[in-house]
C-alpha cells in the first residue's frame, strides 16, 4: 500500500537542517574528529599568518575566516548532513509505503582501498570492507526495492514475511516512478534499517501510526502474543498455589494525510 503525503508531512519528516541523529552520523569516530580538528588548527594558523601579512585593512575578513576555521570541526557535520537532506528534498512528492520483507542477506561492501608497502618493498593494496545487510522489500503491486545498511546486531530480527514501512520520493504526482527510498522500519521488531537516518523518526512513527493503524496494531498484537507465550514457557520462581498467576511503476491511492 502506498499513501501520498502532504507537503506539511514532508517538512516534518525531512527537515532542511540536520537533526541530532544526522549530526551524529556525520560526526563519525574519534579518528574523524581528530582529522577535522587538525584541519581546523591548520586553517586557523593560515588565516592568522595571512592576516599578519595583509595588515589591519582586512581585519574583518580575517576575523570571519578565523572564526569559521576555528569551528570547522563542529559545523562540518551539520553542513554534510544538511547537504544530504537536500538530495531527498529535491523530489517534489513523497509517500509512505507499507510492504513486506521478501528476503534478507548479508554482503561485504568495499569502503576504500589503501596502498602500502610491505617489509620487502612490494606494493600492497589493502581493501577496507564492511558487512552490510540487504533487505528486499516488495508489495502486492509488484514494487520491489533493496535497502542496504551497515550490519548491526539487532538486524537479525528482520525476517521474511514481516511488514515493513518506509518513505519513498518521486517527481511524479502519482508516485508512479520512485526516485529514492528512505529509512526502512519494521514495526514488529521496532528495528530501523538505513545507511543514513534521512527522516525524523519520531515524526515518522506518529504519521505511520495514523496512516497504517490496522497493520501496525496487528504487528504489535502479534509481538505481544509471542512475548506472552515466551513468558508462559518460563519456569515460575514463586511457590506453587492454586492460582495461576507487534522500482517498479505503480499508481498510488488518492487518500492523503
Give the bridge partners for 138, in sequence order. Answer: 100, 144
55-64, 138-147, 243-252: which is most confident: 138-147
| Nearest by Cα to 198 from 74, 27, 82, 28 | 82
What pLDDT shows up at residue 185? 94
Residue range 140-173, pLDDT digits in tens: 888 889 999 999 999 999 999 999 999 999 998 8
* Distance (Å, whole) CA 119 – CA 165: 52
Q: Alpha-carbon torsion 2, 6, 8, 11, what sign?
A: positive
* Distance (Å, whole) CA 198 – CA 99: 19
At 187, is the pLDDT very low, low, confident or very high (cuts 50, 70, 90)? Answer: very high
* Distance (Å, whole) CA 41 – CA 49: 13
Residue range 124-141, pLDDT digits in tens: 888 788 899 999 999 888
- Kindly state the average pLDDT of the residues 100-105: 94
Q: Which of 112-121, 139-148, 178-187, 204-213 has the least mean pLDDT?
A: 112-121
Cell numbers of 154, please?
539487532
Amino acid at each position: 500500500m502506498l499513501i501520498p503525503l502532504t507537503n506539511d508531512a514532508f517538512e516534518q519528516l525531512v527537515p532542511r537542517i540536520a537533526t541530532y541523529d544526522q549530526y551524529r552520523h556525520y560526526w563519525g569516530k574519534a579518528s574523524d574528529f581528530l582529522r577535522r580538528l587538525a584541519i581546523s588548527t591548520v586553517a586557523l594558523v593560515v588565516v592568522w599568518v595571512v592576516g599578519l601579512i595583509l595588515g589591519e585593512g582586512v581585519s574583518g575578513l580575517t576575523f570571519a575566516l578565523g572564526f569559521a576555521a576555528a569551528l570547522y570541526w563542529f559545523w562540518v557535520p551539520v553542513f554534510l548532513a544538511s547537504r544530504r537532506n537536500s538530495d531527498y528534498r529535491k523530489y517534489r512528492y513523497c509517500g509512505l509505503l507499507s510492504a513486506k520483507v521478501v528476503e534478507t542477506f548479508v554482503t561485504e561492501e568495499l569502503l576504500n582501498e589503501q596502498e602500502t608497502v610491505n617489509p620487502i618493498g612490494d606494493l600492497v593494496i589493502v581493501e577496507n570492507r564492511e558487512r552490510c545487510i540487504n533487505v528486499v522489500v516488495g508489495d502486492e503491486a509488484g514494487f520491489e526495492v533493496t535497502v542496504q545498511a551497515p550490519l548491526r546486531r539487532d538486524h537479525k530480527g528482520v525476517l521474511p514475511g514481516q511488514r515493513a514501512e518506509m518513505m519513498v520520493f518521486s517527481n511524479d504526482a502519482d508516485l508512479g516512478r520512485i526516485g529514492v527510498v528512505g529509512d526502512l522500519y519494521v514495526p514488529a521488531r521496532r528495528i530501523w534499517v538505513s545507511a543514513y537516518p534521512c527522516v525524523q523518526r519520531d515524526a515518522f512513527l506518529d504519521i505511520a501510526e495514523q496512516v497504517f493503524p490496522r497493520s501496525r496494531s496487528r504487528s504489535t498484537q502479534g509481538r505481544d502474543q509471542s512475548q506472552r507465550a515466551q513468558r508462559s514457557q518460563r519456569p515460575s520462581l514463586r511457590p506453587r498455589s492454586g492460582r495461576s498467576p507487534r522500482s517498479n511503476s505503480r499508481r498510488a491511492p488518492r487518500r492523503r494525510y
